[in-house]
Structure 1
Amino acid sequence: MEFQKLRDCRFDGSGHFKLDGYPTDVHVEKRLKPNFEALTEANTQRMAELQDKLYAEGCEGVVVILQAMDAAGKDSTIKHVMTGLNPQGVTVASFKQPSSEELAHDFLWRAVTKLPRRGCIGLFNRSYYEDVLVVRVHDLQKTYRMPKRVLDTPKDDFFEQRYRQIRDFERYLWENGYRVLKIFLNVSRDEQRRRFLDRIDDEAKNWKFSSSDVAERELWPKYMDAYEQCIDRTATKEAPWYVIPADQKFYARWLVSEAMVRVLEECGPRYPELPAEQRDDLASAREALLAETGGHDDRGERDESELTVALSENS
């Protein structure tokens, strides 16, 4: 079987994007599920190693954007793929219906307030892309309190301006030490229906379901058109989109973990190299600590003692 690789999911603005060219399912045999779960686990460990260096260096930040239709697996992807990251260096922001305060600002304002510090990773569960997706599908821009010169702009021109503003914003982030990883979990309409039924039939998942989900589902063609246009207009070399087949969650999670490892490796993080003066301070501190035991380093004895206790307790 020829598996889809991460490079097959990548669109960087070269050429013209057509959503039909990106599958929702690559039909991986279920017996291979443990293999991909193991690969994902290995990637989470690699992510943890790279994140530790990223945090210590504090030079570059990473913004991860997850966009998808309802029930595509955004929450579970965050839960399973990001589980190995140190919470100290991660922020998570969920972009739902904007508040009155957020609507009183430009559409990028609420995203700016959620940007992570350099050295950290920011996870955006939905994002400012909602303002060219939901807003476009429902013509919500007509309800904005904005000048007539803005609201009188033809619809296509209005959103072309927003696509440009997003490209400029992501370029701005790139030029200020941030990388933007954009992921679209591409789930099929049939798979969404099955997952909605699961939420209805499983009491433990009832809380995830809303009657509005079915109403939005009726607008599927409009949403697909909106996604196709926004991906086509906002993908760049510095901030490409990854269109991930999401019908099989275990496979989607592996691809997302591959994308995470790739962007962190591209950052090339390294532990800071201490100046000579601080290295001298470390050497002095080491000598002082060893002097307490007469110059004897007893760390190995401690580890051996702890191992002996653990073995005796389990015997």
Structure 2
Amino acid sequence: MSDTAARIADFIEPLRVAPGSKVRLGRDFDPRYRAGLKKREGVELLRTGVALLAEYQERLAAQDTYGVLLCLQALDAGGKDGTIRHVMSGVNPQGVKVSSFKVPSTEELDHDYLWRYARRLPSRGEIAIFNRSHYEEVLVVRVHPENLVRQKLPERARGKDVWERRYREINDWERYLTDNGFKVVKVFLNLSKEEQRVRFLKRIDLPEKNWKFSAADVRERRHWDAYQRAFSEMLSATSTPWAPWYVVPADRKWFARICTAAILAHTLMDIDPRYPEVSEEARNDLLAARQELEEEAPSGAAADPYAARTAEAKDEHGAGHGRPARKKHGRG
């Protein structure tokens, strides 16, 4: 493991939910935790993380073997949209797709509860982000059991064991995905009740933020304790060795973004995708093509400008590290 990969792994380890552990969210994870960092340090760390993601995403796409699914869960105002916008700011948008899941449509309710999520899974070489995910089926549906009725399940499928059964089914589904080369990364943005209140008020106070607020958000906030219990049980039941949960402190947006970037970078570095190696025949074709292009160079132009610039940069680098620089022609 490289030094960078080891540092990232150490940084995110306190956020990981150990498989098989019993989680009590309020006791085990502090929404204001920041690992001793200050915001100005965080800006540079996020820049580094974004650069890493850009590099590894390009390699992931070129290799075309693995896909990555990032699941983001949070209560309202938890910072999902901003996290996606900042963390993915440096990647090629052609290799990323974001799906948001709201109230199920009539068509979606006519299928099994995982159907609409399966349709949005990544292709090989791609990163897919679920802004809310299949875990809504054991969170919102659990806090509001009337939604379970709307799913048209047979009566025996709505029994007391429905949540335990769904945990098992979700774990099995995620195991199936990982066994087939699709890594599942799960991030819960852990927001405090007070910070949610402050963010809601900001959305009301600032006209340009009004569109992000709904009176339904306050009604949903009244179920805070029920959601905390549902989150705690979900984390306990579905953090697995193949798809662990990470609980990211979300009261400081800048820190939440650093953590999410680090978790995603850790996943990609663990995959370690490589650029494909071309065959000897293809390499010979490349050499022939380069020769033809070099012969087309206009008079006075470098045959291969990129190679010339690279060689010049190497010479300059060597001159600055104790190697003699090339003598320039001319007087002096």
Give the TM-score taking structure 1 as reference length: 0.90
What code does the residue aligned with 1:273 have? E
* Matching of residues 244-263 of structure 1 within 5 Å: 244-263=248-267
Q: Give, as a single letter, the amino acid of the residue that structure 2 aligns with 1:272.
A: P
1:238 counterpart residue number:
242
Offset of 1:150 from its aligned partner?
1.6
SS at match of 2:183: strand
Q: Which residue of 1 aligns with 2:199?
A: 195
How big is the shift at 1:35? 1.1
Write out per-residue CA displacement over residues 55-90 of structure 1, whole angstroms, 9 at most, x where no aligned residue.
000000000000000001000000111111100100
Q: Give deviations 1:251-294, integer Å, cap 9, x for gaps.
A: 11111111111011011111000111111111111111112138
Does residue 40 in structure 1 map to residue 46 in structure 2? yes
1:200 and 1:214 map into 2 onto residues whose CA distance is: 12
SS in 2 for 1:54: helix
Task: Please tell me the residue identity of whatever aligns with 1:233.
Answer: A
Question: Per the alignment, in what secondary structure is the counterpart of residue 11 of structure 1?
Answer: coil
Unaligned runs of 5+ in 1: 305-315
CA distance in 1, matches of 2:188, 2:268: 19
Partner of 1:170: 174
- Tell me, yes or no, if structure 1 residue 56 matches structure 2 residue 76: no
Matched residue SS, 1:64: strand
For 2:75 and 2:306, locate their aligned partners in 1 and report how far apart those are by CA, in whole Å.
Answer: 53
Post-superposition CA distance 1:94-141 (Å, at most 9, x none): 011111111111111011100111100001100110000000001121
Corresponding letter in the other structure for 1:72: G
Mapped partners of 2:216, 2:235: distance in 1: 25
- Distance in 1, Cα, partners of 2:59 & 2:28: 37
> 5 Å matches for 1:293-312?
293=297, 296-299=302-305
1:146-166, Cα deviation, whole Å (9 max, x unpaired): 222223x12xx1011000000
Distance of 1:204 and 1:221 partners within structure 2: 30
Partner of residue 6, structure 2:
none
Provide the C-alpha distance between the structure 2 equivalents of 1:216 and 1:300, rounded to a whole number of angstroms: 58
> Is 2:116 aligned against 1:114?
no
Aligned match of 1:278: 282
Contact kept in structure 1, 2:20 and 2:236, CA below 8 Å: no
- Paired residues in the alignment total 297
When structure 1 is superposed on structure 2, of 207-216 and 277-286 the one drifting more is 277-286
**SS in structure 1 opposite 2:121?**
coil
8 Å CA contact retained: 1:163, 1:233: yes
Cα shift at 1:12:
3.7
Aligned to 1:67: 73
1:298: Cα distance to partner? 4.6
After superposition, the Cα gap between the structure-2 partners of 1:126 and 1:5, relative to the gap in structure 1 and judged at 3 Å, is same
Residues 29 and 198 from structure 1, CA distance in 2 versus in 1: closer, same or farther, beyond 3 angstroms? farther
C-alpha separation between the residues in 1 aligned to 2:153 and 2:204? 40
2:270 to 266, 270, 275: 266
Which runs of no fewer than 5 residues in structure 2 stay unpaired?
1-9, 311-332
CA distance in structure 1 between the partners assigned to 2:269 and 2:287 by the alignment:
31
- Structure 2 residue aligned with 1:311: none
Q: Report the Cα offset of residue 28 of structure 1.
A: 7.2
> Which residue number corresponds to residue 5 of structure 2?
none
In structure 1, what is the Cα distance between the partners aligned to 2:242 and 2:172?
11
Q: Which residue of 1 aligns with 2:156?
A: 149
Quick check: 1:22–1:245 contact (8 Å CA) kept in 2? yes
Match of 1:230, as an amino acid?
M
Distance 1:171 1:160 in 2: 17
The 8 Å contact of residues 72 and 132 in structure 2, kept in 1 or not, is answered as: yes
Identity of aligned residues (%): 45
**RMSD after superposition:** 2.0
Which of structure 1's runs of 4+ aligned residues deviate more than 4 A?
27-30, 300-304
